[in-house]
Chain A
């Protein structure tokens, strides 16, 4: 196997030059909540030997903070490594920082972080997307060759799209969730962000596989290899930003030129995907976030009359508004007597979406869609309210509801901003995603973010 990201092998040797490059950049971008570039590379070999990487701050790295972008966990240091982190370390890579995110992964702009502001390296007035906005900004700005994110409803792919890098979400279970701070357990997975597709593959291969700490984890079971012939495209695409639409149309042209047959399909259940997603995600979140009560770790008041009051005070002060909204929503949909109406119905929709996708994959090898209907928006943009931002998740949440892999790839620019397109594959079809994206890159190479360079490595 070829060594991925050869320039980054110089990281240790050219540390001064790297720091001179990275420190000012990071000051502008704010990708990291904890940045320790002085960390020494681990000795040893392995496919990722000597590569530094960033980890979204909701994934556990021993000895690093695990804040989840929340005041609640601002002082928590992880006592253990997430399985994916441990495997990447074993493959020779090492962590140099924890990246910013929407609090507990809840958001699509990283503006819901209580601990820092992350700007899009392409345009500092704009958001990097979310919730893995810090990871996307870090790799787009050339601060690390790759970063881990987590994808619950598009949280790896959407910021990757906003920042012009690859954002990869594997089949549910293939990358262990052990060490990933749970938001919506049945939907989420670790994922990989990088401008280097070969590196995404290498990281995936090093991190994937069954883990005894995660009973929902699986070994990859690759589909029978055969060349990709056909790609499904959505027949009715409304509400796209004109810039995104233009890139989308261009993408179709390129795919056709590559010899793929484009198969128009409809996903009748797509309009129910977002409501189903938010019902299931918030229900699970309401339980997953219950453990943060200020007793064993995390934010706690100086004094409380009794344990019950301590818990109430800790949670009132520790959580931000979006987190509270989702906990309340999740509590609401799980009430006894109302489950059939909400939670159970959402699970049925989930089954229908899976069936819809299966039908698509009977007719085509992959599904193409935009990653997100708009490019990176400016900070505090009010043209999309919170509700509209959630509706815009419809292209990405589908893969989470169905548990299938998807990859956002840089497809071009619109008004100087990167636009991501997304391939979705059937379960265990990761190789198809990489193959199609590599083919696409032969026609549209990845555009580096202006101002980034690996010159320090020379």
Chain B
């Protein structure tokens, strides 16, 4: 049996308003070549100006990944020709990246917590985009110069499943830090995957780099495919070549793109247009204030504090917004488990029904807490609570207000019930008479009629007890 060894090279677009080295808007989906200027188009004579916000975000990520942070970070030029790369070199960091030698934990699918070492975190610029249209090739440079953060892991992942889980957890982390939306389908997160296999206790095997992976599911599948392909080759006595392979998502296979002999010499050298960046006290403070409780730690805390299941813990820490929502609602209502259940169950249903995100919905932590408190105090029953939740989504009002407007408050005294019972008895005199004659089985019908007349606001136990007395039946 072989072991799979996986290392990742993750790229994320940082959440900066402007590009990494010029003042152009960093906006997706605009008309081609509108968010461009002489600098990001690589006109003669232009110079890059470092976007410090991008660097602050880069340091925040490196810090969250437990890296050694550089006290004097440098930029380098990576030289290669590509038609959509305006300068035909990329400004990146090679000799002195923002961070090195980190480690981050993630929750593996087998329920254990595993860790991955981080080789380095570095800031660079993105290229443009080529569009092939018939016999023409068009270039859109809107994306050229976007701030891109590359995170390189050590080969510490042992399977496709683990790699997928790690990436999902990493995605959650960058979203918590607010540095990227981490969406792979929109291209704001990309991941090249290095895969090799080896026999236990042997050194590392020949690695293959897989590109063109635009979902975590493809990454899992590609790793699994590569493991099998490499194992079959080795078992057949073949030697593996170090190469770059492309994932073919239509056929679920990887295909050879270029071998190491054909690989490029990037001729890195220090970028003479950007002086070294030496963070000052203010900058370090800023990096610290950007730190947040990381998703895994937060999940563990919430699970322990409120007795949530792992699944519930996972769900309520899916985003920082969700987790903050949860914690606020719990604080106001005092019922963690119930709030988790609401969020995972009926709230999710309402969101789907109205096609809204939690952020954009009329439900606030205060409203959810209010609903739960109505329930906990017995003023409403679960059925009414669900009606009220729906009404909150429909009418964007507080549960208390809706409760009054709709007269949905629970009937909790016999005095409130007596007139209703009178009316039901009057309407169903024959049934009342039949029960009096001894046909006790028909009591259930009357209970149902009373419940219906109250619109479900009365507790069944209360109705049962009252009817029993009114019909002079022995206590059951």
Partner of A73, one of B44, B77, B89: B44
B46 lies within 8 A of chain A by Cβ: yes
In the bound complex, residues from chain B placing their C-beta under 8 Å from that of A78 are: 43-45
Q: Is the CB of B83 within 8 A of A293?
A: yes
Interface residues of B in 324-354 (CB under 8 A from A): none
**Residue B272 lies at the interface, judged by CB distance under 8 Å to chain A:** yes
How many angstroms from the CA of A12 to the CA of B274 in the assembled complex?
42
Does A263 count as interface, using CB distance less than 8 angstroms?
A: no
The CA of A291 and the CA of B43, in the complex, are separated in Å by: 8
Bound form: Cα–Cα A180–B45 in Å: 4
B130 to chain A, nearest CB (A): 7
Q: Flag whether A178 is at the interface (Cβ < 8 A).
A: yes
- Closest chain-B Cβ to A127's Cβ sits at a distance in Å of 25
* Known interface pairs A291-B87, A293-B88, A334-B267; A213-B44 also in contact (CB < 8 Å): no
The CA-CA distance from A80 to B45 in the complex, in Å, is: 10
* Shortest distance from the beta carbon of A294 to any chain B beta carbon, whole Å: 10
Tell me the number of A-to-B contacts counted with CB atoms below 8 Å.
107
A182 CB–B CB distance under 8 Å: yes
Contacting A at CB under 8 A, from B269-302, are 269, 272-275
Q: Are B81 and A290 in contact (CB under 8 A)?
A: yes
- In the assembled complex, the Cα of A216 lies from the Cα of B139 at a distance in Å of 31
Whole-angstrom distance from the CB of B230 to the nearest CB of chain A? Answer: 27
Bound: A287/B92 CA distance, A = 14
B79 within 8 A of A: yes
B139 touches A295 (CB 8 A): yes
B402 CB–A CB distance under 8 Å: no
Q: Which residues of A contact B130 (CB under 8 A)?
A: 307
Contacts of A335 in B (CB 8 A): 265, 267
- How many residues of chain A have a CB within 8 Å of chain B? 46
Is A336 engaged at the interface, CB distance under 8 Å to the other chain?
A: yes
User: Is B88 touching A283 in the complex (CB atoms < 8 A)?
Assistant: no
B32 at the A/B interface (Cβ < 8 Å)? no
Residues in B neighbouring A185, C-beta threshold 8 A = 272-273
Contacts of B79 in A (CB 8 A): 286-287, 290, 334
- With a CB–CB cut-off of 8 A, which chain B residues contact A214? 47, 273
Residues B49 and A290 in contact, CB atoms below 8 Å apart: no
A270 in the interface (beta carbon within 8 A): no
Knowing A178-B47, A215-B47 touch, does A291 contact B88 (C-beta < 8 A)? yes
Task: Give the docked Cα–Cα distance between A295 and B45 (Å).
Answer: 17
Closest residue on chain B to residue A335 by CB atoms: B265
The answer to whether the Cβ of A179 comes within 8 Å of any Cβ in the partner chain is yes
B459 in the interface (beta carbon within 8 A)? no
- Tell me whether B49 and A213 are in contact (CB under 8 A): yes
A325 neighbours in B (Cβ, 8 Å): none
6 A-B contacts (beta carbon < 8 Å):
A177-B47, A213-B47, A216-B275, A287-B77, A291-B42, A296-B41
Q: Which residues in A have some Cβ–Cβ distance to B below 8 Å? A: 58-60, 66, 68, 73, 76, 78-80, 82, 177-182, 185-186, 212-216, 283-284, 286-287, 290-293, 295-297, 306-308, 310-311, 331, 334-336, 339, 343
